[in-house]
């Protein structure tokens, strides 16, 4: 199983070749956002105001890092449970968000939105947060620092290991995994 | 005769436990993960558990928390009845230790007011469970409990007619519905009996039992083994990617209950099943 190399901004044509279970190495710029940031992002979108980052071809990582120790780029930074962001995801994908990274199940609305908008959902390794931190080469808070761990951060990542959970055809690795006996 | 323990010593012990328990897995958990890796045939499952093991080494070398979710601080205090705490009150001493550990140890502060969602900024308050025991020692157990696995935990007030089959069904369904969300391979803590508030406490305490140990009651030990086998046939696997490693252990604690009730609580822990103890 050879790894698929992806670079940001993501090309939706390339995303269409991805299938569930594929292992991807992602490099480039991604943005962290959790519950509180999503609420604000969608509110800005609804008001027609500018977002802290351009959505087209972008990647959101559902993560809130631990504090950055002295001399490090970032603290531990594994994925949080994606399902809490389900209500916000389709509208962001319609506005250009190309991929989301987290862990755990998405609802049918997100899976349908991935098909309609040619977007994908990746899993990072839940709980392997010190390992995930090694892929982060630069980190900067770009919006809402008052949210602390939940602020929006711009991360430059190199070879971030990801697994395709929901592809652009509506398939779901989590559903397929439990059917294989 | 009473033995004096200074509140400041409790604060220091809690601060140390907060940091070390977030960086180092208990040995039994590490051993169980390695065994799960050796039991897998699927390349993706093997590679996934390899990365979870690699994470332990990176966390230790770089003094980083194993998981960015450094949890809500659950603190169990077993207080010898001959102990007298001096120089401050116990609850304050514990919370001072939590604040100190989470601030000095670069651990994430994840505690917010429930409705306004305002962060307390020092990860306090801890959830503290105290029991009074014989003797003149104080045993402190620190459990950083992450939100993802806690969200997948459940309590059922079953009808007594549901019986053991109803209990098994509820436990397996809870793990099945949780699927990939609580970061499998998980540890499944179960409390059967007691009452509405006691069954979940039993379930949480069951998470602390050494993996590989058997329940004292032989019938319960058989039930644990049966449930572990059934759960590992769900094919959820490490991180939900498929495979045999859905759970590392099922631990059950029981207590007598009212004859009208059959409470069952399932508390799920992620593969980063952190806890550490110290005796003062």
- Asked if A136 is an interface residue toward chain B (Cβ–Cβ < 8 A), one would say no
C-alpha closest to that of A52 among A41, A63, A43, A65: A41
Tell me the mean pLDDT in the region A158-171.
Answer: 97
Q: What is the pLDDT of residue B1?
A: 72
Residue A2 has phi, psi (to 5 degrees) of: -90, 145
Of the pLDDT bands very low, low, confident and very high (cuts 50, 70, 90), residue A2 is: confident
Q: Where are the alpha helices (DSSP H) in B24-89?
A: 27-39, 43-62
Among A67, A127, A129, the residue with its CB nearest the CB of B106 is: A67
Chain segment A17-43, per-residue pLDDT in tens: 999 999 999 999 999 999 999 999 999
Q: Is position B30 within any domain?
A: no
Q: Is position B46 within any domain?
A: no
Enumerate the residues of chain A whose CB falls inside 8 A of the CB of residue B109.
148-149
Ranges of chain B with pLDDT below 70? none
Q: Which of B112, B127, B145 is the last residue of a domain?
A: B145
- Asked if A67 is an interface residue toward chain B (Cβ–Cβ < 8 A), one would say yes
Contact B236 A69 (CB under 8 A): no
Three-point CA angle A44, A81, B109, nearest 5°: 80
| Catalytic residue of the set A24, A32, A34, A38 | A38
Contact A104 B64 (CB under 8 A): no
Of the pLDDT bands very low, low, confident and very high (cuts 50, 70, 90), residue A45 is: very high
Q: How far does A58 lie from chain B, in Å, by closest CA? A: 23
Range of the domain at B91: 3-22+66-145
Enumerate the residues of chain A whose CB falls inside 8 A of the CB of residue B47.
23
Task: Tell whether B252 and B264 lie within a shared domain.
Answer: yes
Contact A181 B119 (CB under 8 A): no
For an interface test with A, give the residue of B30, B187, B233, B239 to mutate (most A CBs within 10 A): B239
Residue B43 has phi, psi (to 5 degrees) of: -55, -40
Is residue B265 within 8 Å of B154, Cβ to Cβ? yes
3-state secondary structure of B1: coil
Q: How far is CA B7 from CA A3, B101, B233, B280, in A?
A: 54, 16, 48, 11
Q: Which of B122, B145, B168 is the last residue of a domain?
A: B145
Contact A83 B181 (CB under 8 A): yes
Residue of chain B whose Cα is closest to the Cα of A129: B67
Is residue B263 within 8 Å of B192, Cβ to Cβ? yes
Task: Tell whether B7 and B139 lie within a shared domain.
Answer: yes
Enumerate the residues of chain B whose CB falls inside 8 A of the CB of residue A77.
68
Task: Tell whether B70 and B8 lie within a shared domain.
Answer: yes
Q: Is position B57 within any domain?
A: no
Dihedral angle, C-alpha B216, B219, B221, B227, nearest 10 ° = -150
Task: Tell whether B192 and B129 lie within a shared domain.
Answer: no
Rounded Cα–Cα distance for residues B272 and B52 (Å) = 9
Contact B64 A130 (CB under 8 A): yes
Count of domains for chain B = 2
Residue of chain A whose Cα is closest to the Cα of B231: A178
Q: Is position B250 within any domain?
A: yes
The three-state DSSP-derived secondary structure of A58-83 is CEEECCCCCCCCCCCCCCCCCCCEHH
What tokens appear for A181 in the block?
Answer: 């006996």
Give the helix/strand (H/E) hosting B202.
Answer: helix B198-206
Q: What is the pLDDT of residue A179?
A: 86
Task: Tell whether B215 and B170 lie within a shared domain.
Answer: yes
Q: Which of B126, B145, B164 is the last residue of a domain?
A: B145
Q: In percent, how much of chain A has pLDDT > 70?
A: 98
Dihedral angle, C-alpha A18, A23, A28, A34, nearest 10 ° = 90
Is residue A81 within 8 Å of B151, Cβ to Cβ? yes
Rounded Cα–Cα distance for residues B241 and A125 (Å) = 11
Strands B154-158 and B262-269: antiparallel
3-state secondary structure of B117: coil
Residue of chain A whose Cα is closest to the Cα of B69: A66
Task: Tell whether B191 and B237 lie within a shared domain.
Answer: yes
Contact B236 A65 (CB under 8 A): no
Task: Tell whether B80 and B213 lie within a shared domain.
Answer: no
Q: How far apart are the first and last CA of chain B?
A: 17
Task: Tell whether B77 and B103 lie within a shared domain.
Answer: yes
Q: Is position B172 within any domain?
A: yes
Question: Is A137 marked active-site?
Answer: no
Of the pLDDT bands very low, low, confident and very high (cuts 50, 70, 90), residue A180 is: low
Here the ipTM equals: 0.94
For an interface test with A, give the residue of B19, B47, B63, B69 to mutate (most A CBs within 10 A): B69
Contact A149 B109 (CB under 8 A): yes
Residue of chain B whose Cα is closest to the Cα of A165: B241
Chain segment B7-44, per-residue pLDDT in tens: 999 999 999 999 999 999 999 999 999 999 999 999 99
Q: What is the pLDDT of residue A1?
A: 54
C-alpha closest to that of B156 among B180, B188, B131, B192: B192
For an interface test with A, give the residue of B240, B243, B271, B274 to mutate (most A CBs within 10 A): B240
Rounded Cα–Cα distance for residues B74 and B144 (Å) = 6
Question: How many CA atoms lie less than 13 Å away from B215 in the CB half-sphere?
Answer: 22
Is residue B237 within 8 Å of B184, Cβ to Cβ? yes
Chain segment A128-157, per-residue pLDDT in tens: 999 999 999 999 999 999 999 999 999 999
Cis? peptide before B185, omega within 30° of 0: yes
- Among positive and negative, which fits the CA dihedral B107, A129, B75, B85? negative
Task: Tell whether B129 and B198 lie within a shared domain.
Answer: no
- Asked if A149 is an interface residue toward chain B (Cβ–Cβ < 8 A), one would say yes
**What domains can you pick out in chain A, each with its CATH number?**
4-179 (3.20.130.10)
Cis? peptide before B3, omega within 30° of 0: no
């Amino acid at each position: 199983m050879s790894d698929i190399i992806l670079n940001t901004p993501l090309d939706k044509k390339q995303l269409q070749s991805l299938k569930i279970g594929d292992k991807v190495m992602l490099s480039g710029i991604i943005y962290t956002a959790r519950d509180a940031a999503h609420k604000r992002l969608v509110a800005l979108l609804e008001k027609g105001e500018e977002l802290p980052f351009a959505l087209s071809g972008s990647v959101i990582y559902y993560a809130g890092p631990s504090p950055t120790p002295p001399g490090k780029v970032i603290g531990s930074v594994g994925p949080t449970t994606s399902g809490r962001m389900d209500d916000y995801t389709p509208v962001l994908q319609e506005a250009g968000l190309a991929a989301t990274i987290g862990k755990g199940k998405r609802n049918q609305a997100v899976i349908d939105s991935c098909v309609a908008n040619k977007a994908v959902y990746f899993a990072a390794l839940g709980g392997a947060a010190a390992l995930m931190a090694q892929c982060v080469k630069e980190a900067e808070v770009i919006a809402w620092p008052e949210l602390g761990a939940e602020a929006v951060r711009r991360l430059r990542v190199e070879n971030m290991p990801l697994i395709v959970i929901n592809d652009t055809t509506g398939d779901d690795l989590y559903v397929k995994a439990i059917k294989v006996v | 005769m009473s033995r004096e323990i200074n509140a400041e010593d409790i604060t220091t012990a809690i601060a140390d436990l907060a940091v070390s328990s977030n960086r180092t897995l208990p040995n039994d958990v590490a051993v169980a993960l390695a065994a799960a890796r050796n039991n897998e045939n699927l390349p993706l499952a093997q590679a996934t558990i390899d990365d979870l093991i690699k994470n332990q080494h990176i966390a230790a070398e770089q003094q980083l928390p194993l998981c960015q979710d450094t949890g809500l601080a659950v603190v169990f205090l077993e207080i010898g009845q001959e102990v007298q705490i001096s120089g401050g009150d116990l609850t304050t001493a514990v919370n001072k230790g939590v604040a100190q550990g989470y601030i000095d140890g670069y651990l994430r502060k994840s505690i917010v007011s429930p409705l306004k969602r305002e962060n307390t900024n020092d990860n306090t308050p801890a959830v503290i469970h105290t029991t009074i025991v014989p003797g003149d020692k104080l045993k402190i157990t620190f459990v950083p409990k992450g939100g993802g696995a806690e969200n997948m935990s459940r309590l059922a007030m079953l009808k007594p007619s549901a019986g053991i089959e109803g209990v098994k069904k509820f436990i397996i369904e809870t793990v099945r519905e949780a699927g990939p969300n609580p970061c499998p391979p998980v540890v499944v803590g179960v409390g059967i009996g007691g009452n509405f508030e006691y069954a979940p406490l039993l379930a949480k305490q069951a998470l602390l039992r050494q993996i590989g140990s058997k329940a004292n009651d032989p019938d319960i030990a058989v039930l644990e083994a049966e449930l572990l086998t059934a759960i590992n046939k769900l094919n959820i696997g490490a991180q939900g990617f498929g495979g045999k490693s859905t759970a590392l252990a099922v631990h059950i604690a029981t207590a007598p209950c009212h004859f009208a009730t059959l409470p069952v609580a399932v508390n799920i822990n992620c593969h980063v099943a952190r806890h550490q103890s110290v005796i003062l």
